[in-house]
Amino acid sequence: MVFQPPPTVSSDHNPVLQPNECSSTLFQTIAAPASVVWALVSDFENPQRYKPFVRSCRIIDGQANQVGCLRRVDVASGLPASYSIERLEILDHDQRICGFSIVSGDHRLSNYRSIMSLYPNGSNETAVVETYVIDAAEANTKEETCAFVDTIVKLNLRTLSRVAEDLAGKAQQQV
Ligand code: A8S
């Protein structure tokens, strides 16, 4: 299916970049209501529900799922990092927009921030748009940095789609 960006797509998805930054916007269409997808992505405390590399997560500062809180994410072994500290930057339940930044960790992602918006496409489909901005890694080109991050974000979006569609399917069976 060809993704049609909604006409009202938030300007957050057109960031102004500094010379050392790179950015990418990824799209995913999900056959599940926006409420189901939002329940997953707005749960900042539990990214492991749809991010396959996340092994565990806990809130280390602030109140869970309130803007400003920090989470510590531990990732699967075999990756070039073991953990990441991330701050919830935006959580807009009305417009279904959430965003976080990576503040530290033992990885090489510097100044990473991401914003995700959901757009209901009728009652049973959701368009997801995710844009991230990151500093080009020291030893890598912008293209290499974005290729690495794109791989992770695409996998997260595909997993989100599968998990949300499973949940929506189960909910339907109970009716
Ligand atoms: C996200 C996005 C990213 C997560 C990256 C880019 C990460 O969790 C993984 C490998 C790394 O090297 C960096 O939405 C880090 O989570 C899977 C640990 C941050």
Pull the structure tokens for residue 4. 């049609």
**pTM of this structure:** 0.92
What atom in ligand 1 is closest to the CA of residue 130? 14
Asked whether the beta carbons of 32 and 168 are under 8 A apart, the reply is yes
Confidence of residue 170 (pLDDT cuts 50, 70, 90): confident
Mean pLDDT within 140-160? 95
Compute the average pLDDT of residues 83-91: 98
Q: What is the mean pLDDT of residues 54-64?
A: 98
Given pLDDT bands bounded at 50, 70 and 90, which one contains residue 5? low
Of 166 and 141, the structure prediction assigns the larger pLDDT to: 166
| Percent of the chain residues topping a pLDDT of 90 | 81
The residue to mutate among 42, 104, 109, having the most atoms of ligand 1 within 8 angstroms of its beta carbon, is 109
